[in-house]
């Protein structure tokens, strides 16, 4: 049996891979990383150190485009409901690698979804047939994100820079079109230079696509685009922001199309 772990560079996918290696060994283990080309430098560092820690073969594949280039190509700016970036740079790329290199009859695929988001995994499984998908972190013993970081540190893996800065995940440079206003406000405080990059890229796409934005402003019962520029100005002006609205990554789950 072949085992393929969707290896993202986050602590969750590392922990999932560790459980797979403990249960099945590493002779037939592949750690598959689909690169968006906008990852934080320290995430790439962790990715390679984590792969060496787990064992097996690290395979890195990339479409060749960034999420911003995908948005420009499909003429649609991703948001919390529709994610052309992860469709083209994650799901389709991983599915193509599996079709070209593995047989669903003798392959199990693993994701780093944990027990707190088992609903995401339950949505994923029927969509991926005939491939068999499993989520090792949905099995006991149930571990929190804090537990995972402590485990990694006991294994000699230094925590990723983005986690240290307080970001909710360590992918796509700390940003994500599925993040809420609180997630982007955290980015603004923790990494203003990276926030400026996201703001500038969104501004450039608005020139092409019109009044679009990653976020929505739902104040006073209305719903309208909330640009990253407007959010920054609100935060810097002392306006209120729901810091708990961090959203969540769904790269290997959500299938809505632009």
Tens of pLDDT, residue by residue over 118-174, are 998 999 999 999 999 999 999 999 999 999 999 999 999 999 999 998 887 888 988
Pairing of strands 107-110, 132-134: parallel
Residue 157 lies in a domain: yes
Among the residue ranges 5-9, 103-107, 162-166, 254-258, the one predicted with the least confidence is 254-258
221: left (phi over 0), alpha (psi -120 to 50) or beta: left
Provide the β-strand partners of residue 215.
Answer: 226
Mean pLDDT along residues 172-177:
90
Residue 112 lies in a domain: yes
Domain range holding 128? 2-164
Residue 188 lies in a domain: no
Q: Token digits for 131? A: 């491939």
Alpha carbons 171 and 168: distance in angstroms, whole number: 9
Residue 34 lies in a domain: yes
Residue 252 lies in a domain: no
Condensed to tens digits (0 to 9), the pLDDT of residues 25-68 reads 999 999 999 999 999 999 999 999 999 999 999 999 999 999 99
What letter would DSSP give residue 101? H
Condensed to tens digits (0 to 9), the pLDDT of residues 82-120 reads 999 999 999 999 999 999 999 999 999 999 999 998 998
Residue 191 lies in a domain: no
Q: What is the pLDDT of residue 258?
A: 41
Mean pLDDT along residues 7-33:
96
pLDDT confidence band for 246 (50 / 70 / 90): confident
Q: Token digits for 122? A: 């339950």
Provide the β-strand partners of residue 216.
Answer: 225
Residue 40 lies in a domain: yes
pLDDT confidence band for 3 (50 / 70 / 90): very high
If one counts the domains in the chain, the total is: 1
Kindly report the CA angle at 89 between 88 and 93, in degrees rounded to 5? Answer: 80
Residue 256 has pLDDT above 50, yes or no: no
Cβ of 140: how many Cβ atoms within 10 Å? 6
Q: Does 17 or 173 have the greater pLDDT score?
A: 17
Q: What is the mean pLDDT of the chain?
A: 92
Residue 204 lies in a domain: no
Q: Where residue 127 sits, what CATH number does that domain have?
A: 3.40.50.620
């Amino acid at each position: 049996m072949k085992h393929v772990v969707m290896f993202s560079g986050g602590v969750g996918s590392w922990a999932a891979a560790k459980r797979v290696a403990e249960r099945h060994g590493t002779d037939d283990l592949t750690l598959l990383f689909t690169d968006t080309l906008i990852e934080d430098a320290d995430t790439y560092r962790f990715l390679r150190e984590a792969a060496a820690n787990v064992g097996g073969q690290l395979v890195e594949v990339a479409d060749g485009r960034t999420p911003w280039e995908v948005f420009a190509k499909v003429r649609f700016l991703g948001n919390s409901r529709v994610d052309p970036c992860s469709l083209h740079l994650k799901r389709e790329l991983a599915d193509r690698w599996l079709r070209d290199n593995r047989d669903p009859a003798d392959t199990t695929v693993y994701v780093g979804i944990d027990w707190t988001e088992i609903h995401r995994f339950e949505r994923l499984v029927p969509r991926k047939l005939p491939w068999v998908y499993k989520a090792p972190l949905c099995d006991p013993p149930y571990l929190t994100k804090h537990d995972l970081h402590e485990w990694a540190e006991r294994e000699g893996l230094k925590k990723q820079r983005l986690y240290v800065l307080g970001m909710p995940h360590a992918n796509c440079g700390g940003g994500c079109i599925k993040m809420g206003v609180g997630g982007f406000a955290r980015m603004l405080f923790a990494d203003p230079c990276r926030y400026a990059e996201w703001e500038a890229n969104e501004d450039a796409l608005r020139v092409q696509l019109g009044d679009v934005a990653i976020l929505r402003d739902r104040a006073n019962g209305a719903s309208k685009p909330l640009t990253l520029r407007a959010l920054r100005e609100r935060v810097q002006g002392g306006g209120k922001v729901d810091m708990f609205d961090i959203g969540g990554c769904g790269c290997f789950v959500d299938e809505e199309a632009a």
